[in-house]
């Protein structure tokens, strides 16, 4: 019987006539995603392509050669084109080399965040049918080898692990250096089909755990290249990846891949603390970086006491969660820095404010679509278009927005319309200029400082806690995070403490950012007439003062 994941990965993703149109319009170039690195290796071999936080540097020629060596080594190691390969690494040179090398070899990287734990990694590993993974030995005192051992107990199909650092003694585990020693001389590989899936991203999650997002060479190349153009990137761009490069925003919006598409230089920050970021900006004359609003607030605060020379910085992209106008204005007090709002999603659609937009548009909207062929509809609860300027749910399709998840038919039927629009779950309104303003979200997704997760996922765990009779988790406004998570618990008898609930989730291997920030004990959980948690009434309850 054919493997259902392989069949789903090789299914056509856009209708033939639509795909033809995107090719004719030049959005899809038919090139492999790493082609720009090859191109600049030929034309500008000595240009710095990649620098990490400890100053290791690869020129375009070196990066291109290393990507080829990784491709060869992965094949020698036993991976074949089409195999899925989990990358869970901090922002290290090796992450970029493994990513480019696997894409070149037709091996499909599965981008997993370093903050993910057993629950998420096991889910993404099973869903992708992964056979190998790459991790760091430790990051910020957390031991990823232990995590991977537990993941492999649950997903025995992961036969191979490559560790950047100390590999340990487990079966099938080797160090990055040993992997690279397997590389053979360059070989002619058959050309990669640009319509094929190049990599798998993951969604923030609604209605449960994250979903896998298949991005093709064609669409992701366009995503990165068109973004670079819209954001004014060129060969003088020095882009600092402060956020985890496994995330779509720093990876391709325009991020690393957008910088490579114009022959610029990428600098990797191992962690996004103000000290590390400001000193990297000073040292490498960084011109642009990207952050979520909570991180920007942290940088703004730190800047009050900081004297590092960051005058090279010209553009600060902010996205992932809504940027408050007041914060946008504070950034504009930094000399020479322009803000760009980015409202994007791993599923595709990207909205950017542009350099030529008036300042109030930049400070108060989340931008307008990247592509002339991004189709946008804003609909009411019946799926009918709302009046101009009214708030509704954003549906979209276009040359870099997926038509289906790597998931079962029920999930896809819920997430996409029959004519291929992705139902984003984002509530927006559109200005006459085409700029979108994000008004909130429908459904159960919580956006905690840019890190998204499904309330339902956490509810499904906490209902198993012995002290919990009924449970609901809700995103509530929070001055620092934008949204914090509040757990409403109807207890069996003695109410559990917040600490107990957090420990319970931690023991189950749930990522830390998903643990509830606050707890409210209640006598019952309001339900809709369909028996679902009534999140609207809960939001009203959340606003009420806690009874003393």
Point out which residues bind ligand OOB (CB under 6 A). Answer: 203-204, 248-249, 253, 319-322, 341-346, 350, 366, 424, 426, 438, 441, 447, 452
Strand-by-strand arrangement of the 265-268 sheet: 57-59, 48-51, 265-268, 238-241, 288-291, 315-319, 338-345, 348-352, 368-369
- 398 with 375: CB under 8 angstroms? yes
Minimum distance of ligand OOB from residue 342's CB (angstroms): 4
Residue 517, classified by CB atoms within 10 Å of its CB into exposed (0-12), middle (13-18) or buried (19+), is middle
For 216, residues 6+ apart whose C-beta sits below 8 A from its C-beta are 13, 194, 195, 196, 197, 198
Instruction: Provide the β-strand partners of residue 262.
Output: none
Minimum distance of ligand OOB from residue 316's CB (angstroms): 13
Minimum distance of ligand OOB from residue 395's CB (angstroms): 12
Q: Which two tokens stand for residue 421?
A: 């629009």
Nearer to ligand OOB, 71 or 113 (CB): 113
Nearer to ligand OOB, 104 or 202 (CB): 202
Nearer to ligand OOB, 67 or 321 (CB): 321
Minimum distance of ligand OOB from residue 422's CB (angstroms): 10
Nearer to ligand OOB, 176 or 400 (CB): 400
Nearer to ligand OOB, 72 or 351 (CB): 351
Distance (Å, whole) CA 397 – CA 420: 7
**If you search the block for the tokens 């999603």, which residue do you land on?**
345
Nearer to ligand OOB, 144 or 453 (CB): 453
Distance (Å, whole) CA 184 – CA 71: 10
Minimum distance of ligand OOB from residue 228's CB (angstroms): 13
Please work out, in degrees rounded to the nearest 5, the angle formed at the alpha carbon of residue 106 by the alpha carbons of 105 and 109.
100
Distance (Å, whole) CA 81 – CA 246: 21
Nearer to ligand OOB, 33 or 67 (CB): 33
Q: Which residue is nearest to ligand OOB (CB)?
A: 344
Nearer to ligand OOB, 73 or 291 (CB): 291
β-pairing, 48-51 vs 265-268, is parallel
Minimum distance of ligand OOB from residue 426's CB (angstroms): 5
Q: Which of 357, 242, 321, 245 is nearest to 288 (CA)?
A: 242
Sort residue 336 into left (φ over 0), alpha (ψ -120 to 50) or beta.
Answer: left
Distance (Å, whole) CA 154 – CA 340: 42
**Helix ranges (DSSP H) in 483-534:** 498-507
Minimum distance of ligand OOB from residue 202's CB (angstroms): 8
Minimum distance of ligand OOB from residue 492's CB (angstroms): 35
Minimum distance of ligand OOB from residue 415's CB (angstroms): 12
Nearer to ligand OOB, 75 or 424 (CB): 424
């Amino acid at each position: 019987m054919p493997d259902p994941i392989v069949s789903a990965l090789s299914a056509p993703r856009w209708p033939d006539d639509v795909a033809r149109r995107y090719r004719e319009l030049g959005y899809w170039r038919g090139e492999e995603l790493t082609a720009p690195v090859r191109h600049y290796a030929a034309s500008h071999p000595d240009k710095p392509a990649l620098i990490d936080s400890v100053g290791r540097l690869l020129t375009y020629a070196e990066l291109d050669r290393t990507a080829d060596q990784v491709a060869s080594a992965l094949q020698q190691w036993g991976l074949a084109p089409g195999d899925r390969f989990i990358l869970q690494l901090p922002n290290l040179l090796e992450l970029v080399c493994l990513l480019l090398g696997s894409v070149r070899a037709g091996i499909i990287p599965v981008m997993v965040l370093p903050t993910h734990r057993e629950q998420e990694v096991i889910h993404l590993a099973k869903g992708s049918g992964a056979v190998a993974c790459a991790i760091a030995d430790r990051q910020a005192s957390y031991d990823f080898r232990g995590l991977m051992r537990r993941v492999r107990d649950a997903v025995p199909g992961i036969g191979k692990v490559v560790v950047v650092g100390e590999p340990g003694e487990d079966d099938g585990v080797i160090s990055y250096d040993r992997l690279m020693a397997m590389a053979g001389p360059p070989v002619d590989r058959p050309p990669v089909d640009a319509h094929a899936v190049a990599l798998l991203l993951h969604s923030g999650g609604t209605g449960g755990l994250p979903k896998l997002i298949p991005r093709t060479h064609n669409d992701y190349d366009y995503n990165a290249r068109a973004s670079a153009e819209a954001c004014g990137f060129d060969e003088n761009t020095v882009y600092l990846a402060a956020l985890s490069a496994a995330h779509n925003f720093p990876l391709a919006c325009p991020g690393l891949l957008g910088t490579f598409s114009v022959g610029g230089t990428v600098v990797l920050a191992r962690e996004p603390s103000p000290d590390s970021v400001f000193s990297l900006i000073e040292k490498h004359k960084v011109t642009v970086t990207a952050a979520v609003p909570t991180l920007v607030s942290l940088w703004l605060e730190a800047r009050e006491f900081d004297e590092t020379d960051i005058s090279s910085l010209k553009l600060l992209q902010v996205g992932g969660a809504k940027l408050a106008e007041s914060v946008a204005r504070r950034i504009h007090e930094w000399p020479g820095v322009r803000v760009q709002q980015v409202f994007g999603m791993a599923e595709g659609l990207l909205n950017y404010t542009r350099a030529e937009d008036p300042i109030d548009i930049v400070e108060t909207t989340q931008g307008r679509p990247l592509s002339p062929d991004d189709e946008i509809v804003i609909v009411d609860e019946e799926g009918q278009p709302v009046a101009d300027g009214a708030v509704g749910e954003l549906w979209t399709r276009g040359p870099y927005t997926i038509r289906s998840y790597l998931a079962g038919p029920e999930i896809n039927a819920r997430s996409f319309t029959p004519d291929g629009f992705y139902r984003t779950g984002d509530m927006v309104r559109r200005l006459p200029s085409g700029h979108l303003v994000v008004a909130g979200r429908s459904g159960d997704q919580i956006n905690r400082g840019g890190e998204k997760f499904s309330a339902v996922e956490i509810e499904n765990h906490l209902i198993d806690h012995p002290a919990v009779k009924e449970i609901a988790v809700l995103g509530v406004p929070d001055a620092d995070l934008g949204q914090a998570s509040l757990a409403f618990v109807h207890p069996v008898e003695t109410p559990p403490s917040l600490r107990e609930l957090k420990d319970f989730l931690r023991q189950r291997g749930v990522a830390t950012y998903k643990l509830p920030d606050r707890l409210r004990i209640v006598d019952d959980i309001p339900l809709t007439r369909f028996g679902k948690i009534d999140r609207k009434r809960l939001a009203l309850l959340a606003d009420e003062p806690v009874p003393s």
